[in-house]
Amino acid sequence: MAEVGSKTTRLLLLGLLLAPALVWLVGVILLPHLDLALLSFRERIGPGEFSWSLAQYRTFFAEPLYWDVFVRTAVISVIATGLTLLIAFPIAWTIAKLTRGRVSALLFAVCLIPFWVSETVRTLGWMILLRETGVLPAVLVSLGITDTPVEMLYRDATILVGLVYTSLLFMVVPLYSSLESLDDSLIEAAYDLGGSGWTVLRTVVIPHAAPGITAGCIVVFMLTLGNYLTASLLGGKNSLWFTEQIYTQFITRFNWEQGAAFGFLLLALSSLMVWLGLRLSGQKFADVMSRT
Amino acid sequence: MTAVDLEAKSLLKRFGSHVAVDSLSFAVTRGSFFSILGPSGCGKTTLLRMIAGFIGPDSGDIEIGGRSMQGVPPNRRPVNMVFQQLALFPMMSVGENVAYGLARRGVGRAEREAKVAAMLERVGLPGAAGKRTDELSGGQRQRVAIARSLVLEPTLLLLDEPLGALDLKLRERMKIELKQLQAAFGTTFVYITHDQSEALVLSDQVAVMNAGRFEQVGSPQALYYSPATPFVAGFVGANNRIEGRVSALHGALADVTTPEGWVVRAQIQAAPDGRRPSVGDAATAFVRPEVAVLGRTAADLDRPTIAPGDEAAPVHEGVVESLLFDGANSAVLLREARSRAEFRVALPQTGRYADLKVDERVLFTFAPERAVCFATGGGGTGGGHG
Per-residue DSSP letters for B342-370? EEEEEPPTT-TTTT--TT-EEEEE--GGG
pLDDT greater than 90 at residue B275: no
> A23 and A138: one domain?
no
Q: How far is B214 from chain A (nearest CA, A)?
A: 26
Residue B370 has pLDDT above 60, yes or no: yes
What is the per-residue pLDDT for B169?
Answer: 87
CB A235 within 8 A of CB A157: no
Among the partner-chain residues A185, A191, A207, the one whose CB lies closest to the CB of B75 is: A191
> Is residue A71 located within the same domain as residue A198?
yes
Tell me the pairing of strands B305-306 and A42-46.
unpaired
What mean pLDDT comes out for the span A93-98?
93
**pLDDT tens profile B22-68:** 999 999 999 999 999 999 989 999 999 999 999 999 999 999 999 99
Chain A residues with CB-CB distance to B87 below 8 A: 183, 185-186, 188-189
Q: What mean pLDDT value characterizes chain A? A: 89
Q: What is the largest CA-CA distance in chain B?
A: 77
pLDDT of residue A280: 85
Query: How many structural domains are present in chain A?
Result: 2
Task: Look at strands B156-160 and B188-193 and give their pairing.
Answer: parallel
Across B82-98, b (16+ Cβ under 10 Å) vs e yields: bbbbbbbbebbbbbbbb
Same domain, A85 and A15: no
> Residue A292 has what pLDDT?
60
Question: B88 vs chain A: nearest CA distance in angstroms?
Answer: 7
B209-247 per-position pLDDT tens digit? 999 999 999 999 999 998 999 999 999 989 999 999 999
User: Residue B385: its pLDDT value, please?
Assistant: 37
Domain assignment of residue A36, yes or no = no
pLDDT band at B165 (very low <50, low <70, confident <90, very high): confident
Which among B13, B30, B104 is positioned nearest to B64, based on CA atoms? B30
Which residue in the set B83, B92, B149 is minimally distant from A185, CB to CB?
Answer: B83
- Indicate which CATH number applies to the domain containing A116: 1.10.3720.10
Residues of B with CB under 8 A from a CB of A: 52, 54, 73-76, 79-81, 83-85, 87, 89-92, 100-101, 104-105, 148-149, 152
Please, which pLDDT band fits residue A108 given cuts at 50, 70 and 90? confident
Backbone angles phi, psi at B128, to 5 degrees: -90, 0
Q: ipTM score of the complex?
A: 0.82
Residues in a beta bridge with B205: B34
Do A192 and B152 lie within an 8 Å CB cutoff?
no
For residue A81, the distance in angstroms to the closest alpha carbon of chain B comes to 25
- What is the CB neighbour count within 10 angstroms for residue A206? 13
pLDDT of residue B11: 94
Question: Residue B147's closest chain A neighbor by CA?
Answer: A193
Contact B101 A193 (CB under 8 A): yes
Runs of H (alpha helix) within chain B: 44-52, 94-104, 109-122, 138-150, 168-185, 196-202, 220-225, 230-235
Is residue A42 in some structural domain?
no
Q: Across the interface, which of B84, B92, B104 has its CB nearest the CB of A194?
A: B104
Contact B87 A204 (CB under 8 A): no
> In chain B, what residues touch A205 (CB-CB under 8 Å)?
none
Q: Do B87 and A196 touch (CB under 8 A)?
A: no
Which residues in chain B touch residue A195, judged by CB atoms under 8 angstroms apart? 75, 100, 104
Please name the member of B74, B91, B101 whose beta carbon is closest to the beta carbon of A208: B91
- Is residue A106 located within the same domain as residue A1? no
pLDDT tens digit sequence for A161-176:
999 999 999 999 999 9
Residue A121 CA, distance from chain mean position: 19
User: Closest Cα partner for B189 from B143, B158, B220?
Assistant: B158
pLDDT at B99: 96
DSSP class of residue B303 equals: P
Region A46-56: what's the mean pLDDT?
84
Q: What is the pLDDT of residue B310?
A: 65
Instruction: Say yes or no to pLDDT of B381 above 50.
Output: no
Which domains occur in chain B, in start order?
A: 4-230 (3.40.50.300), 238-375 (2.40.50.140)
CB contact under 8 A, A193 and B84: no
Pair (A120, A26) in one structural domain: no
Q: Which residues of B touch A207 (CB under 8 A)?
A: 91
Which residues in chain B are closer than 8 Å to A196, comparing Cβ atoms?
A: 75, 104
Chain B residue with Cα closest to A210: B91
Q: How far apart are CA B105 and CA B118, in angstroms?
A: 18
- Band of the pLDDT at A4, cuts 50, 70, 90? low
Same domain, A1 and A91: no
Q: How confident is the model at residue A3 (pLDDT cuts 50, 70, 90)?
A: low
Report the alpha-carbon distance of residue B146 to residue B151 in Å, rounded: 8
Q: Which residues of B touch A197 (CB under 8 A)?
A: none
**Chain A contact residues (CB < 8 Å to B):** 183, 185-186, 188-196, 199, 203-204, 207-208
Q: State the pLDDT at residue B308.
A: 61
Give the residue from A193, A203, A213 with the most B CB atoms within 10 Å of its CB, the best one to mutate. Answer: A193
CB contact at 8 A, A162 and A234: yes
Q: Provide the shortest C-alpha distance from residue B107 to chain A (in Å).
A: 12
Task: Indicate if the pLDDT at residue B379 is higher than 70.
Answer: no
Which residues in chain A touch residue B84, judged by CB atoms under 8 angstroms apart? 185
Q: What is the three-class DSSP state of B295?
A: strand
Region A111-122: mean pLDDT is 87
pLDDT at B162 over 60: yes
Contact call for A193 and B149, based on CB within 8 A: yes
For position B154, what pLDDT does the model report?
94
> Which residue in the set A185, A186, A193 is minimally distant from B104, CB to CB?
A193
Instruction: Express as a percent the part of chain B with pLDDT over 70.
Output: 96
CB within 8 Å: A189 and B83: yes
Domain that holds residue A18: 1-31
Smallest Cβ–Cβ distance between A204 and the set B89, B101, B152 belongs to B89
* List of chain A residues whose C-beta atoms are within 8 Å of the C-beta of residue B79: 192
A22 & A131 share domain? no
Does residue A49 fall inside a structural domain? no
Q: How many CB atoms lie within 10 A of CB A143?
A: 8
State whether A238 and A277 are in the same domain: yes
pLDDT, tens digit (0-9, with 9 covering 90-100), for A262-291: 999 999 999 998 898 888 888 777 777 776
- pLDDT confidence of residue B382: 40
Regarding whether A242 and A121 lie in a shared domain, the answer is yes
CB A215 within 8 A of CB A291: yes
In a domain, A161, yes or no: yes
Tell if the CB–CB gap between A194 and B52 is shorter than 8 Å.
no
Q: Check residue B55 and give its pLDDT.
A: 93
Domain for residue A281, yes or no? yes
- For B48-68, the DSSP string reads HHHHHTSS--SEEEEEETTEE
- What digits encode the pLDDT tens for the residues A150-164? 888 888 889 999 999
Residues of A in contact with B152 (CB under 8 A): 193-194
pLDDT in tens, B284-333: 999 999 999 998 888 888 777 776 666 788 899 999 999 998 888 899 99
Give dist(CA B134, CA B90) in Å, integer: 7
pLDDT (0 to 100) of residue A111: 86
Strands B282-287 and B372-375 turn out to be antiparallel
Query: A142 and A7: one domain?
Result: no
Which segment of A226-240, B52-66, B140-154 scores lowest on mean pLDDT?
A226-240
Share of chain B above pLDDT 90, in %: 70
Does A189 contact B75 at a Cβ distance shorter than 8 Å?
A: no
Residues A109, A20: one domain? no
For residues A63 and A21, membership in a common domain is answered with no
Distance from the Cα of A93 to chain B's closest Cα (Å) equals 19
- Out of A185, A199, A207, the one facing B104 most closely (by C-beta) is A199
CB contacts < 8 A (A, B): 56
- Assigned domain for A175 exists: yes
